[in-house]
Amino acid sequence: MELNYATPGIPDHVPPELVRPYELAERRTIYENPYEAIIPAVHEGPAAFMSPHAYLGVAPAWVFRRAADIKKILMDNENFIKKGNTSFARMIGEDWDVIPTELDPPRHTAVRRMLNPMFTPAKVGAFEHKVRERARDYISAFKDRGHCDLIKEFAVPYPVSIFLDLLGLPTARMSEFLEWEFALIHASELEDRVVGVRAVKAYLTEVIEERRRRPGDDLISNALQLEVEGKKLTPDEVFGHCFNLFIGGLDTVTANIGLHFMHLAMHQDHQQQLRDDPAVIPAAMMEMLRAYSATSHQRICSNDVEIAGVRIKAGDRLLVPLPLAGRDPEMYESPNEIRFGRNATVLTFGFGIHRCLGVYLAQREIQFALQEMLSSVPTFRVRKDFRIPFRVGGVIHTWSLEIEW
């Protein structure tokens, strides 16, 4: 099914009563907390519905709100496929996959088997001291000032600089890379997304060729040496994997760090609990990951199937919103209450074979951010009269978070 960026219509088989808006799909900035003002209201509606612009903000898609249905979809790689989901290649008239994001079994199985050893806990543990030092470096720049914009001064540069190091890319160009990432993930207009894809494609193509000539100790150089079932990746596959690394490293950890510190700044009792007992921080991180899950995934239905009581036809697109799963009242008791001892299932990094490749690194970055900030900065709060801007769409961000202490 071709993605229509004009005015796509609702398929004929969708009952009119199941067509409704989904506010979190539209790429825009709002000033109400979506976890408090929007998500609970969605959970008062049907288990599944179709929203006219739920898919990438431009096309109709089924939206599922219940965690059990979302897990079922993420586990079903036969009826719900990933191929072509991002549409990045198609935007510029090309045909390559974002790897492993847009692969399905059996190719995904083989590629993921090859990539998994690069992101194991042991691999991450080998350089986690550098991750902690990086957190301390950024915090030291503002800890004695009494205030900061937590997003601009910490939540963005801290994890992004780590990933740029892993890719062997210059941190001096971080602002430029982030502009491209914004165009890819957050821009409302198709034209802006196309510009972003072309910019990343041109830059990564140049870097890949440079690493062919002069390989280094980085993930891009490593991609050129990878073999799947005895064969090296094709040039398109190398690029597709590097593209995935680029966009994956510049966004989601920043989003999670911002949302977690927003919660602690607004809930002084929880902040004090972690200060009094730092051993609670890992469990608190997991609970905040549940409650403030930030990303939504997409799938394409490959066969007619029924789920959540609705008939989905081959070619239908699906939005799988993990922020809804994390606040599902049918999965979690009092889901809008943050309980650091809950020890609940967390779907923030996905589920099944497409679970985030960098989950261990992401968790370490978030945990160290919490530990170092709470041990270095006195009790902080949101600056008086500051309105927190939330960017919604495929990834929910706090765009700015001005705190003081």
Average pLDDT score over residue span 267-281: 97
Look up tokens 């370490």; give the residue: 364
Contact 366, 260 (CB under 8 A): yes
Lowest mean pLDDT among 24-33, 51-60, 385-394: 51-60
Peptide bond into 52 cis (omega under 30): no
The pLDDT of residue 187: 83
C-beta neighbour count of 207 within 10 angstroms: 18
The domains of the chain, with CATH numbers, are: 16-404 (1.10.630.10)
Dist. CA 404–CA 64, nearest whole Å: 38
Dist. CA 214–CA 231, nearest whole Å: 21
Q: To which H or E segment does residue 206 belong?
A: helix 190-213
Residue 263 pLDDT grade (very low, low, confident, very high; cuts 50, 70, 90): very high
For the ranges 108-122, 155-169, 278-292, the maximum mean pLDDT occurs at: 278-292
Contact 340, 287 (CB under 8 A): yes
C-beta neighbour count of 387 within 10 angstroms: 9
The pLDDT of residue 20: 94
pLDDT at residue 1 above 90?
no
φ/ψ region of 187 (left if φ > 0, alpha if ψ in -120 to 50, else beta) reads: beta
pLDDT tens digits along 284-317: 999 999 999 999 999 999 999 999 999 999 999 9
Q: Which position has the higher pLDDT, 259 or 5? A: 259
- Looking at the chain, the whole-number percentage of residues with pLDDT higher than 90 is 79
Residue 266 pLDDT grade (very low, low, confident, very high; cuts 50, 70, 90): very high
Average pLDDT score over residue span 142-161: 96
Locate 252 and state its tokens.
Answer: 């989601």
pLDDT at residue 405 above 50?
yes
CA angle 204, 207, 213 (to 5 degrees): 145
Q: Which position has the higher pLDDT, 203 or 5? A: 203
The pLDDT of residue 8: 59
Taking each continuous run of H as one helix and of E as one strand, the counts in the chain are 18, 15
DSSP 234: P
Average pLDDT score over residue span 271-277: 98
Helix (H, G, I), strand (E, B) or coil at 8: coil
Indicate the length of the chain as a whole number.
405
Dist. CA 226–CA 290, nearest whole Å: 34
Contact 129, 179 (CB under 8 A): no
Look up tokens 């199937």; give the residue: 305
Torsion angle of the four alpha carbons 180, 162, 347, 153, in this order, in degrees rounded to the nearest 10? -70
Environment class of residue 168 by beta-carbon count within 10 Å: exposed (0-12), middle (13-18) or buried (19+)?
middle
pLDDT at residue 3 above 60?
no
Contact 200, 98 (CB under 8 A): no
Environment class of residue 43 by beta-carbon count within 10 Å: exposed (0-12), middle (13-18) or buried (19+)?
middle
pTM of the model: 0.93
The pLDDT of residue 344: 87
Average pLDDT, the chain: 92
Average pLDDT score over residue span 344-349: 90
Residue 70 pLDDT grade (very low, low, confident, very high; cuts 50, 70, 90): very high
Q: To which H or E segment does residue 148 belong?
A: strand 147-149
For the ranges 38-47, 182-191, 343-352, the maximum mean pLDDT occurs at: 38-47
pLDDT at residue 2 above 90?
no
Average pLDDT score over residue span 353-362: 91
